[in-house]
Amino acid sequence: MSTTTTATTSTQTASTDNAELKKYLFRGEYDIHDLTFDRCEGIYLWDTDGRRYIDTAAGTFNLSLGYTNKEVVETAKEQCDKMIHLSSSYFNENVLQLAKKLVEVSPENLTRAHLKVSGGSTANEGAVKLSQYYTGKREVISYYMSHVGQTIFMQEASGLSFRRSKFDFGIGGISHVQYPYCYRCPYGHGNCENCGLECLNELKNYIAYGSSGDIACLIIEPIQGNGGNQVPPKAYFKELKKICDDNGIVLIFDEIQTGVGRTGKMYAAQHFDVQPNIITTAKGLGGTGFQIAGILMEEKFNRMESFLHSFTYGTNILSVTAALKTLSIIDDPKFLNNVTVCGQYIMDRLRKMQDKYEFIGDVRGVGLMIGFEIVKDRKTKKADRELTLQIVHRALDQYGLMLRSSLYGFGNVLKIRPALNITMDQCEEMMDILDECLASFDH
C-alpha cells in the first residue's frame, strides 16, 4: 500500500472515530460546525482531510500570537519539567515577575495585579467585588449589548437579555445604560466627529434620579466587542471618567478582548488616553491559548482579603510562564507598530470593499480589532442578519475563511481580529479571499 493511500485511510478512520465520539459531547443548541481540526500554526488550521483554513478571529480573540506559537510553546515545555501548578498560597518567581510586568505595561495609576482568577468572567466579577469592598456600596452600572461574562453575576450584568431569559437568580442592584453607537446614533449624529455626547445624559440622569445613590462601580468595554465592535469617540471616556470621579463611582475597563496589544497599544485605555481605576485582562494574555486572567488596580483597592476572590487554577504556573513570554514579545514598539500598520491595511481594504458592495454599511475599528456591518439598505441602515450568516457559512465552506459574526445586538457585524503577529502578506491573502467571497454575493 502506498504512503498516500495509508494516509488517506488513516484520515478516514480518524473522521469515522470522531463522528462516533461526538455523540458524547454536550452541544445543546450551540452551533458547532462538524469540522474537526488536528493541526494548526499561526493564522492557519488544517482539518482531518488536510484542507487549510485561515482564522480571521484568532480563535475566540484569545490567540494573540496565533496557533502553537513556537516561542511560547518552547517556554511552556521547559516550565513543564520544573513545575506546572502551585497553590496560590505560596510564591513563585514567575508569578511575581508577571505581576510586575503587568503593572509596567499598564496605565501608570495601576500598581497592583490580582492573578488568582481563572478567566475573564471571574476577573470582571472580582473587579466588582473590589469596588464594592472599597466603596462600601453595592450597585453596578453596565451597558446594553455588553458581554462582560457568563458566570451567574456577570450574566446578570451583561447587556444581553437572552443569556438570562431561562434563569432567575434574583440578583438585584444592576442597571444598564446606552453604549455609544456612532453608526446608529439615536441622536442623529451618524458619526463620532459630530458627537455631542448626548448618550451620557442617560447615565447622568440615572445617577441623579434612578439610582439609590449607592453605586459602587461602572463596568465598560472600551470597544464593545461582541456587541458589534463599537468604537466610542475619545471624548466620551474623558467625560465618563469625570462623571465617575464626581460621583465616587469606580470605573472598570473590561479589556478581556481589547487588551494585550489588540488595539496597537498594550491596553485600549492607553489608546483613549484615560486612566480607569481597574482594568481586567485575559484572553490574549495567554498568547497561544493558555488560560489566564488578571485584575489590574489602583493601590487603594489592595485591602480586600484575598480569600474573598481566589480560584484553584488562578496563578497556574504554566499559564503564568506563557503569559510572561507573551508580554515580552508584544511589549515591543516594533511589534505594536505592526499591529497598527496591519490594522490600517485591513481597514483600507474593507473601505474599498465598502465602495464596491452596497451591503457593507460601516467599517470601524482600532488596530486589529475591526468590524464591518452588513445592511439591507445603506440609507435606512437596516441590518441584514440573514446575509451576514450566509457570508460566514460560504466563507468557511467554499473559501476556507473562518469569520466570526456578532450574535448580539443586531447580529450583522463581521469581526476581523486575527493574530497580532500576522504578516502583511498574510493580511493581503486574507483580504483577497474575503473580497472574492463578498463578490459572490454582489448581484
pLDDT-derived band at 168, boundaries 50, 70, 90: confident
CA 76, 81, 87, 91 dihedral sign is negative
Residue 47, amino acid: D
Kindly report, residue by residue over 59-93, the tens digit of the pLDDT.
999 999 999 999 999 999 999 999 999 998 888 99
Kindly report, residue by residue over 226-244, the tens digit of the pLDDT.
999 999 999 999 999 999 9
- % pLDDT > 70, the chain: 93
443 or 396, greater pLDDT:
396
- On average, the pLDDT of the chain sits at 92
* pLDDT at residue 221, as a whole number: 98
| 30: pLDDT strictly greater than 60 | no
* pLDDT at residue 375, as a whole number: 97
β-pairing, 174-177 vs 139-143, is parallel
CA distances from 303 to 13, 106, 228, 299 (A): 57, 20, 36, 9
* pLDDT at residue 31, as a whole number: 62
pLDDT-derived band at 171, boundaries 50, 70, 90: confident
Kindly report, residue by residue over 270-308, the tens digit of the pLDDT.
999 999 999 999 999 999 999 999 999 999 999 999 899
Domains of the chain: 3-62+333-439 (3.90.1150.10), 72-330 (3.40.640.10)
CA separation for the pair 216, 116 (Å, rounded): 22
Among 384, 406, 332, 432, residue whose Cα is nearest residue 61: 406
| 114: pLDDT strictly greater than 60 | yes
* pLDDT at residue 287, as a whole number: 97
Q: Say which residues have a Cβ less than 8 Å from residue 377's Cβ, sequence separation at least 6.
A: none
CA separation for the pair 49, 7 (Å, rounded): 10
Q: Once rounded to an integer, what is the mean pLDDT over residues 110-136? A: 97
* pLDDT at residue 7, as a whole number: 43
Kindly report, residue by residue over 397-413, the tens digit of the pLDDT.
999 999 999 877 789 99
Q: If phi over 0 gives left and psi between -120 and 50 gives alpha, with beta otherwise, what is residue 126?
A: alpha
Q: Once rounded to an integer, what is the mean pLDDT over residues 43-50? A: 95
| 190: pLDDT strictly greater than 70 | no
